[in-house]
Chain A
């Protein structure tokens, strides 16, 4: 098991290296000139050249990449061009806020998706199954920003159960309960897609397993239904579910963007969105690399869990 985990960990390094190159190169393709943007209306060619030199933008691209990468590896994410602060000071607290939102969304998605998927599989074509199918289709198809606005309209404006936006009450002193109160609507909005995916996947994965002969045999031997489902069927249905959940967790890190914009949740998605609008390349690079890093890390974690659940994988 330890060897498997180590092998997977080593395989992650070239992936991250590749990701860093793609992120760096893609940003070079974006049109516009950050130096001209920075200097404003009286930007003469000389002043633009001076700023470009100051930012190192006049150097060959491989040199720029190398100095960026080596700084990154030393923990120096650079300095925001638009906001004039270290990128790490911007990205780290915002990433933590996104982790809170993404974590809550994932929790909702698993806590509802897993039992609902099992129930739908066990009682295929029942009322519960049909209802869960309808909700899963809506959840997966509804644009997140639309769902966010609808939730805000119903629960914040009409019923006044939750605040419309922000992470804590702007006039109050905050606190965990205040945070929780602000978390509900954005977390539900973000959870919709992973919830739908997990529900459908659990259902199909379970359906495949409970049709197998060994399940029929267990049932024929008179094993109680709960034991059959939870002890034998679920365990075998779990690996693909864990893999997909890992992927969904990764997607959530970037996928909270729309919810963050609509609910003014100060997360990394919103930061990234603002940085892209401001052409703040160091922030975009830092935030994207951070998201990519955690995406890879979460999938590595999911792979290791899957390997733990499925001994056949470890042997390969």
Chain B
């Protein structure tokens, strides 16, 4: 109820303000100034390898670099290009078992220590080697998919390191650059020696374009441009030094307050603005950056439930939902309908793939011909908020209305996000029918994460107990396939199988809108759940 009220007030606030519409002329980018970002939640601790969630990674990725990185300085691409990071080039042996990374020379951490192959080994052992003193169980849990095939680390010389895999892992590089619950970016071992695993998240030291200044919990995280950043010496615009002197991240949990603070000029960037504030704010001269993002909100069905064992019922659910209406009317264009489990921004995404268009008549027909012509009450678990979930209750209520119109009897059970997650990770329980989730990755390895039977919960993200020999076989084949095009094709096929089994109910892909002040220039919405602040400059 309260969430809905706030959305209404946000609209009331946003529509009633007459902000002068100014559109700044294209000018030479200026250096300097402080960029203030209103975050929708407080960040986790700033341990780049162990911290959870996209919000924290959006902060951490300014301070930390990975061996390879995503180019987020351009928006007109379908998939972010993977470019050299702390490694200036890399080679993969023909059998796909040996990755040799040739490291940049002269890279300095923010504490002045030098970056070498030893640093890389030390960091990987923190995430992978249980016997290492720096080992962090949380970092290992968060980055486990990346190191799943790693067998050995070999330092060739001070600036060359070889990672030897026990078997090919086609999406190794894709997982290496992925963010979210931990990232494989590298921290300063000397700094870790000072603080240890418990405290290092309070004193982050990386090699990134910004360095940590201070954090006041609940108030701000302050980063400052790092003058010795390795990219400063390069001509390449993808690594250029940031324009702004400082970035201040402010946690502001209330969406209406974030929008109001932008209107008052107290912040420059607003994350997760309420969808209904976008149009009025744009009309008032503010900027909206949004676009395809590898993000999906979906429901996982309980494959062990009696009615849901029948594919007709699962397909009926998929036909019954008006996803286009949900994206356009309810979410005001801040999202696009999701028809498959692969999101835009992924190399395996196919925008033409629409296996279940909105067809309530077909849904009714499928229910009638199923083994469960009079479906019992279905219990759907939904969070009340949380990372990337947009407005979960209105979306769930929309879905509930659609499903009930088609002849289902759906009940929503709602929980606060963290509590919800602890249920989700245990897998769908006996008396429940479907669980909500908001997730997604650029790498199509994502398909394995929720669809392979070996990742059934607990200890995996296949929470609906989906078990398809055909999907498993293709996923196993894709895992080992080193040819990019063939592998992406295999993952697209898995998507087709998962959807023909209708084990999941994709709902929408968020366009991850961000509101910007009229003075903010150069902001790029790349197809990713996080952004690069180096291109941003302030026009005032």
User: Which A residues contact B (CB, under 8 angstroms)?
Assistant: 30-34, 36-45, 47-48, 50-51, 82-85, 90, 94, 145-146, 149, 152-153, 156-158, 160, 163-167, 170-171, 261-264, 266, 270-271, 273-274, 276-279
CB of A96 to closest CB in B, whole Å? 12
In the bound complex, do residue A153 and residue B260 qualify as a contact, i.e. CB atoms below 8 Å apart? yes
**Chain A-chain B contacts (Cβ-Cβ < 8 Å), number:** 163
Q: Which of B242-285 contact A (CB under 8 A)?
A: 248, 250-254, 256-257, 260-261, 263-264, 266-267
Q: Which residue of B lies closest to A84 (CB)?
A: B45
In the bound complex, do residue A279 and residue B418 qualify as a contact, i.e. CB atoms below 8 Å apart? yes
A276 to B253: give the CA distance in the assembly, Å: 13
Chain B residues whose C-beta falls within 8 Å of the C-beta of A276 in the assembled complex: 416
CB of B92 to closest CB in A, whole Å? 25
A263 to B423: give the CA distance in the assembly, Å: 32
B52 within 8 A of A: yes
Q: Which of B27-81 contact A (CB under 8 A)?
A: 34, 36, 41-42, 44-45, 47, 52
In the bound complex, do residue A166 and residue B250 qualify as a contact, i.e. CB atoms below 8 Å apart? yes
A293 to B416: give the CA distance in the assembly, Å: 28
Given A42-B144, A84-B202, A264-B257, check contact A36 B425 (CB 8 Å).
Answer: yes
In the bound complex, do residue A149 and residue B13 qualify as a contact, i.e. CB atoms below 8 Å apart? yes
Give the contacting residue for B253; candidates A94, A149, A261; CB below 8 A. Answer: A261
Given contacts A42-B142, A170-B220, 20 further A-B contacts (CB under 8 A): A31-B422, A31-B423, A32-B421, A40-B181, A40-B182, A43-B141, A84-B201, A84-B202, A94-B218, A145-B2, A149-B13, A152-B13, A160-B264, A165-B252, A166-B250, A261-B257, A264-B250, A271-B217, A279-B418, A279-B419
A261 to B36: give the CA distance in the assembly, Å: 19
A273 to B47: give the CA distance in the assembly, Å: 23
A271 to B45: give the CA distance in the assembly, Å: 15
Chain A residues whose C-beta falls within 8 Å of the C-beta of B418 in the assembled complex: 32, 37, 277-279
Given A166-B250, A266-B216, check contact A42 B459 (CB 8 Å).
Answer: yes
Given A166-B250, A261-B253, check contact A38 B458 (CB 8 Å).
Answer: no
Q: How large is the interface on B (under 10, 10 to 19, 20 to 34, 35 or more residues)?
A: 35 or more
Given A31-B419, A149-B13, check contact A261 B218 (CB 8 Å).
Answer: no
In the bound complex, do residue A82 and residue B137 qualify as a contact, i.e. CB atoms below 8 Å apart? no
CB of B442 to closest CB in A, whole Å? 17
B16 within 8 A of A: yes
In the bound complex, do residue B141 and residue A39 qualify as a contact, i.e. CB atoms below 8 Å apart? yes
B461 within 8 A of A: yes
Residue pairs across A and B with Cβ atoms less than 8 A apart, 25 shown, are A31-B415, A32-B420, A32-B423, A36-B421, A37-B421, A39-B141, A42-B141, A42-B142, A42-B144, A42-B460, A43-B141, A48-B458, A83-B217, A90-B217, A94-B218, A145-B2, A160-B264, A164-B257, A165-B257, A261-B253, A262-B256, A264-B254, A270-B218, A271-B218, A277-B416
B17 within 8 A of A: yes
A158 to B264: give the CA distance in the assembly, Å: 9
A160 to B264: give the CA distance in the assembly, Å: 8
Q: Which 10 A-B pairs have the closest CB atoms?
A: A32-B422, A32-B419, A266-B218, A44-B459, A33-B422, A279-B418, A164-B260, A266-B219, A84-B45, A164-B264
Give the contacting residue for B141; candidates A31, A47, A270, A277; CB below 8 A. Answer: A47
In the bound complex, do residue A38 and residue B138 qualify as a contact, i.e. CB atoms below 8 Å apart? yes
Q: Which residue of B lies closest to A156 (CB)?
A: B264
Give the contacting residue for B458; candidates A30, A44, A273, A279; CB below 8 A. Answer: A44
In the bound complex, do residue A274 and residue B415 qualify as a contact, i.e. CB atoms below 8 Å apart? no
A266 to B182: give the CA distance in the assembly, Å: 27
In the bound complex, do residue A163 and residue B219 qualify as a contact, i.e. CB atoms below 8 Å apart? no
A38 to B51: give the CA distance in the assembly, Å: 10
CB of B384 to closest CB in A, whole Å? 10
B135 within 8 A of A: no
CB of B524 to closest CB in A, whole Å? 24
Q: Which residue of A lies closest to B202 (CB)?
A: A85
B426 within 8 A of A: yes
